[in-house]
Amino acid sequence: MPLNRRTFLGTTAAAGAGAAIVGGVAAPAEAHEHGRGRAPKRYSFSVMGTTDLHGNVFNWDYFTDKEFDDKAHNDVGLAKISTLVEQVRKEKGRHNTLMIDAGDTIQGTQLSYYYAKVDPITAKHGPVHPMAQAMNAIGYHAAALGNHEFNYGIPVLRKFEEQCRFPLLGANALDAKTLKPAFRPYVIKRMCTPHGRDVRVAILGLTNPGIAIWDKANVSGKMVFPGLEEQAAKWVPKLRSMGADVVIVAAHSGSSGTSSYGDQLPYIENAAALVAEQVPGIDAILVGHAHVEIPEYRVKNKQTGKDVVLSEPLKWGQRLTVFDFDLVWEKGRWSVEKAGSKVLNSNTAVEDPKIVRLLSDEHKKVVAYVNQAIGTSKAAMTTAEAAWKDEPIIDLINAVQVDTVKAALAGGAYASLPVLSQASCFSRTAAIPAGQVTIKDAAGLYPFENTLEARLLTGAQLKDYLEFSARYYVQTAAGVPIDTSKLTNAGNTPDYNYDAVSGLTYDIDIAKAAGSRISNLAFQGKPLDPAAQFVLAVNNYRANGGGNFPHVAAAKQLWANSEEIRNTIISWVKAKGVVDPASFASVDWKLVRDGVAVF
């Protein structure tokens, strides 16, 4: 329910006055300033932060059913973060630390999926979400909302919120009717000092305005998400007027100042640095959303000239940010004299036995679930080269989507139109083995909670769509040796924003500049008619503007499904019993240079 502003401000002010004390009873306030010649009184404290945990409790990859590892030998999960947190608390003193998060908590692994869909926390007498259990045990003080918090719908998010013993913050998540906060905007914590008045630390939570696009089906008409700068400018002065000595923002928003959805919303997706630059009164920002590591980044506020410290710990619990604040008592108040940040690597820590004991049963349930057999495959398939070759494993996704959309449109006005399909290589380590196929195999192929839609596009629009997609490749002249490790992700385009489209044949000439790379574009062996109409089977992220692909967001929606594509793949494999790549695999696109095939 939306909060009553008067009630909210009253209760929060009361909490700020005494209820939200960290580390025991506040010391009596000093009556006088220090006399001349005395050393000024100082106090230091630390704020630890995580972000983009995405359902990772243990150092385990449920999509491969083995311990997580990558090329850099990172580790993941809250169990390891818990050990780092306890180390910092031992070093600094528990009462001199706070613990916060910047969002994207309840989506991303089969552990989080299981307790949203298979054994949902929303059921009567349902379980407590593993992420709530772990974060409660660690002792978080606040967490900002991430965009992926809305993937399973508002009821699941509200139940998770209820299960957390700390507030979920979202100052720019507003009730669509009243435009009042739908979640708590902030919390004020009090740090006891040995010198008099406690230090009041305000934590303001900001989430991503892209939620309105990416989770349109779940939030449309219910919540709106204005820009981060706008809402920070509204709330930071209020927090200062309420006596906040330190203001920290937990922002589920990257620092680059860019957006992946173009001009569909008048707000910037990755606005954390702009907030620091434009809104006075902020001391530090815990950055999230972008999945990059930023140990320390200083941004000078334009109005005050003061540095704001930004830090983003690497995703999934691979890093823990530690902000260190040194305060001095002067002119009757505490002020920040020095602030800095660093990140700690979770691969240096063992998993906290407390977290392991707490959630071992949940972990075992999910491991058993993902190892359920759903069918067999006649051949092994992998995504290892799918970022630059038309591979059967991506054709499998497209085959499932085409079959599903054709069945949905059968007998209707658009049943006679050809159905095309888009798919991305979401993971370069996904594989379907020869022989038994399990849930984890299908889940690893499609790790996101995307659902399926059908949109109406013309041949000309599809050409534009493919040209936009092909910007993913680094321009490479004919004759230059090909290094596949440097061929893709031009302009930092992620793998999930490169689409292959099935049902057409085409070449991508990487020797040419982006925007003029698609050649030999054909349908059923004939040059593509720009005026012809096609149905595109497309995931809801793309259909709602994710990646800012042209035309698709404005295209007529012919059908939409609420079932995750991942589950649709699982059901398709179960129904077929046997997956035979010969029935759906074909090389429809290839990379060329000056017309000569690259591979």
The neighbour count for residue 94, using CB atoms within 10 Å, is 13
Residue 364 has pLDDT above 80, yes or no: yes
Give the pLDDT score at 411: 95
DSSP 8-state code for residue 96: G
CA angle 548, 549, 552 (to 5 degrees): 110
| φ, ψ dihedrals at 169, nearest 5° | -105, 140
Question: Does 12 score more than 70 pLDDT?
Answer: no
Full-model pTM: 0.84
Work out the average pLDDT over 411-421.
Answer: 97
* CB neighbourhood size of 373 (10 A): 13
Residue range 522-550: mean pLDDT, rounded: 96
Q: What is the residue type of 469?
A: S
What pLDDT, in 10s, does the model give residues 166-217? Answer: 999 999 999 999 999 999 999 999 999 998 789 999 999 999 999 998 888 8
**Pairwise CA distance, residues 500 & 583, whole Å:** 19
Q: Give the pLDDT mean for 83-101.
A: 98
251-270 pLDDT, tens per residue?
Answer: 999 999 988 877 777 899 99
Q: What is the mean pLDDT of residues 501-530?
A: 98
The pLDDT, as a whole number, for residue 449 is: 85
Q: Are 341 and 309 in contact (CB under 8 A)?
A: yes
Kindly state the average pLDDT of the residues 11-30: 39
Q: Is the pLDDT of residue 13 over 50?
A: no
User: Which residues neighbour 238 within 8 Å (Cβ) at sequence distance 6 or greater?
Assistant: none
pLDDT at 37: 63
Q: Binning pLDDT at 50, 70 and 90, where does residue 155 land?
A: very high
In the three-class reduction of DSSP (H, G, I as helix; E, B as strand; rest coil), residue 153 is classed as coil
The residue behind tokens 């590591």 is: 293
- Please name the residues in contact with 149: beta carbons below 8 A apart, sequence gap of 6 or more: 103, 104, 105, 106, 107, 157, 160, 168, 207
Beta carbons of 203 and 190 less than 8 angstroms apart: no
Q: What is the pLDDT of residues 437-470, one digit of tens each?
A: 999 999 899 988 899 999 999 999 999 999 999 9
pLDDT number for residue 561: 87
> Looking at the predicted structure, is the pLDDT value of residue 21 above 90?
no
pLDDT per residue as tens digits for the range 345-356: 999 999 999 999
Model confidence at 433, pLDDT cuts 50, 70, 90, reads very high
pLDDT of the residue at 547: 93
Question: What's residue 259's pLDDT?
Answer: 87
User: For residue 16, what pLDDT is reported?
Assistant: 39
The helix or strand, by DSSP H or E, that contains position 408, with its residue range, turns out to be helix 392-409
List the alpha helices (DSSP H) in 535-564: 540-543
Q: Which residue has the tokens 């996101």?
A: 448
pLDDT tens for residues 118-131? 999 999 999 999 99
15 pLDDT above the threshold of 50: no
Query: For a pLDDT cut of 90, what percent of the chain falls above it?
Result: 87
pLDDT attached to residue 270: 95
Q: What is the mean pLDDT of residues 497-524?
A: 98
Task: Summarize pLDDT for 386-397 with one digit per residue, the tens.
Answer: 999 999 999 999
Q: DSSP characters for 247-286?
A: EEEEESS-SS---SSTTSSSS-SS-HHHHHHHSTT--EEE
**Residue 517 phi, psi dihedral angles, 5° rounding:** -105, -20
Categorize the per-residue pLDDT at 23 as very low, low, confident or very high, splitting at 50, 70 and 90.
very low
Q: Using pLDDT thresholds of 50, 70 and 90, give the confidence band for residue 6.
A: very low
Question: What mean pLDDT is predicted for residues 563-574?
Answer: 93
Q: So what's the pLDDT on residue 36? A: 58
The torsion angles phi and psi of 404, rounded to 5 degrees, stand at: -65, -45
Question: Has residue 506 got a pLDDT over 60?
Answer: yes
CA atoms of 383 and 501, how far apart (whole Å): 16
The pLDDT assigned to 482 comes to 96
